[in-house]
Structure 1
Amino acid sequence: MAVIQDVLPLGDELERSYSVRVRGRLKFRVGQLVYVAFSLDETEMEFAFPREERAALVGGDPRKFQMPSESDLRFNWVRSDLAALEPAEAREFVVDAWRMVVPQKLSRAYDQWHPAGPG
């Protein structure tokens, strides 16, 4: 069972990433691009995810994953129930979302420094 504290450090540790609060919601950004956002009660995590793969992810485990809100369907975005995720799985989704908004050079550098994935 993942909780926000399992992924919180990544918001500031990943290259060019920073945490912000917008209308009470915690979000991780690179520049102005949001790649992870938490619900107000911090029990749900929304994250960047390839749009073409999202139906398969949601359909594979609807208990863990949901489609984004109607207004966010046009974006590369998925919603998840944090408690349904394992901590390592939640960290992996955060890192993969971060990869979608940074240059490939930074993504490759991360792989060199973290060959076992997010710890």
Structure 2
Amino acid sequence: MATWEDVRAAAQPLPGAEEDHWYGEPLFRVGTRAFVQTTRGRVIMKLDRNHQELLFEARPEVFTPFVAGALRWAYVDLAALDARETADLVVEAWTMVAPKKTSRPWLAEQR
């Protein structure tokens, strides 16, 4: 069962990632763009659109759509995930907002 502490552990080492708060709830961002946050006590992540759709179909009890205007994120039930899967999703969300000149070299180092 993953927690926000697992999200924090995965996000803090990512280049450019900063922890902040939005309306009193925690979030991680790169510059002005958030990639994982809580809203009303639920975690949302900015995942790749195609991956999101797959997750919504394959695991609807864990991943559900969060739509706000033109934004489409995924609600993620951390309690249904382990720390490793949570970390992988946090990295994916980070790659959606981090500049490619930052994310590509970092991802290459991780292999």
User: Shared topology, TM-score over 0.5?
Assistant: yes
Structure whose residues are more often strand by fraction: 2
Show the counterpart of 1:56. Answer: 54
Shift of 1:93: 0.6
- Indicate conservation of the 8 Å contact 1:68/1:79, yes or no: yes
Q: 1:83 aligns with which of 79, 82, 100?
A: 79
- What is the SS of the residue equivalent to 2:2? coil
SS at match of 1:63: coil
1:96 and 1:52 map into 2 onto residues whose CA distance is 12
Superposed displacement of residue 73, structure 1:
5.9
Higher relative contact order (CA 8 A, sep 6+): 2
- Residue identity over aligned pairs, in percent, reads 29
Q: CA RMSD in A?
A: 1.8
TM norm structure 1: 0.82
Residue 113 (1) aligns with residue 109 (2): yes
- SS of 2:92's equivalent in the other structure is helix
Amino acid at match of 1:58: F
TM-score, normalised by the number of residues in structure 2: 0.87
Match for residue 63 of structure 2 among 62, 65, 73: 65
Unaligned runs of at least 5 residues, structure 2 = none
Q: Alignment partner of 1:67: what SS? A: strand
Distance across 1 between alignment mates of 2:33 and 2:51:
20
Distance 1:82 1:73, change over 3 A: farther
